[in-house]
Structure 1
């Protein structure tokens, strides 16, 4: 059975009647401009490709897509791909230092899928999105891909695992909510609903410049992702005319608390030269609240501004601890918040907060939205 208007020519909808029957479907390619599956052969009017979704029967779980590529003359190639409709691979971190983040993002993804499935039922579609969830700390990406019979994925939310997934197979489509690593901005089948580190870094730099900050002291942990993010912040801030101190880096084996005296010394030199009201700490540490608690005991740290990345936006742990709350108040601590929009934003935000027990972040909203983006794309392409 071929549903009406389900065939795509070079990605574009073709208007045609539906076809229902048994046995072979004869496909011929000739020069014309009409497609009618009931009476005529399928026609390609120009070189390109046809994607034809085929349902074997209404009660059979597997569907197929016949893809015909036509180069010209009598040269055409056809291949048939089978798939389980609606099955979505969902690799997430659920047992590590990222477990809180991974669990919250997965929960937001589930809620997005639930709402999209409600939408499908309301419009009487005959398929649903089904998540096949796997823990990336229990299985490798290779094992997950080999075991899940799908070429469509929601997640993973982190750049490293997303890169591994993209390297394993070319024949996949991935929508990731939260992987911001700029090096993943390639022309491939990876789509992300979060801005890249380049965009986020430039936005934070402009925010600091807008707040009359002239010099920044970077404090960060030494990871590939944070180094890349910080480089974008530095480049954009210098383009805004600002000055960047060499900063304080947390090497492996050192805690940021152990580096506190060094940070305080840097801040004293900068405030003596530039004035406390134009100096800011830009921080990308791993254990941020613990770091703020330690730095709250240093007087110079309480006189300058503090800025954080989107990773710290709406982090309620900061205000639940007296020491970190004091430093945040004294320093006018500001994070980069990517705000959502939409008629149902407040309702969705409240539902995500209720379900996760956490303040809703833009990453959670992006995860919810990713489910809808992928679902609508599947619906549009008759996947």
Structure 2
């Protein structure tokens, strides 16, 4: 039996859909030494696209590294993750006899560690806890720059969910240290990824922030319906099953074009479709319920962490997107003052839970969170 052709992990190889123009744009910017802020809501495929960019650049002998900033809880944690990622990038492809030569004498504040495992050599960084974070960053990035210049190479560093450093006590100091390398060293480019769009936009557009106008901002939209529908149908056929265009369209529309949900619904529907048979509307509806069940714990945790006013506004917008929360269709005024409603709305927008479209209609960003909230209200 063929493997499931869809994924809830990073989309690679045949699981990667479309994005030809976005991929070419980003590759062109990086090849030109430009750093880029890749901006979109969660689950639109930023990380998969960035992974594809790195894959293409590695084929051109770029040194690459990807650092996930989302779990970072302190300046020291950020420095450790950044150092580990860059050391792994420098050591990629080396064997136990050559990796030491690559790293020998490269850093002054960092000691590379190497561990031989069944998967090869695992490299990481040992950092003196007494050295300030910014000094370590300066040493790490300075050493990276000297390394690529010496070996006539280029580098691209992906910082995923980069907006999370804004919550750190020394965030502006870290931003300032990073900015000097973004501006001065065209042989090393950065891709800054983020799904908290307002926080990340402020970091790069506020003239009082170190990153002001330091990088090109590239908003990422949804993959077009026609491309994703064709992709779903083709992947079913390639694995001995069928998914008519109308059914694939239903998958796309239920997911509202969010890549992670499209892949997830298609993955579950594929599992429920017998070999040689066609995926049906019933399969898709069952997949939708399975997805809601899968996401329910996350949505519960998200909702429970919000203050009462924000919960009320989020539930109201899930039930009925609107240009105004003060109309007759809303009962919020019974719970919150106009000022309270506005404050809650602005907070939800900043958290990227709510957004307004081009017509000024506010709605819940995540289509499955909106559906889950509506179901909770009806039960």
Name the TM-score, length of structure 2 as normaliser: 0.30
Greater strand content: 1
**Larger gyration radius, structure 1 or structure 2:** 1
Name the TM-score, length of structure 1 as normaliser: 0.29
Greater helix content: 2
Q: Greater relative contact order: 1 or 2 (C-alpha under 8 angstroms, separation 6 or more)?
A: 2
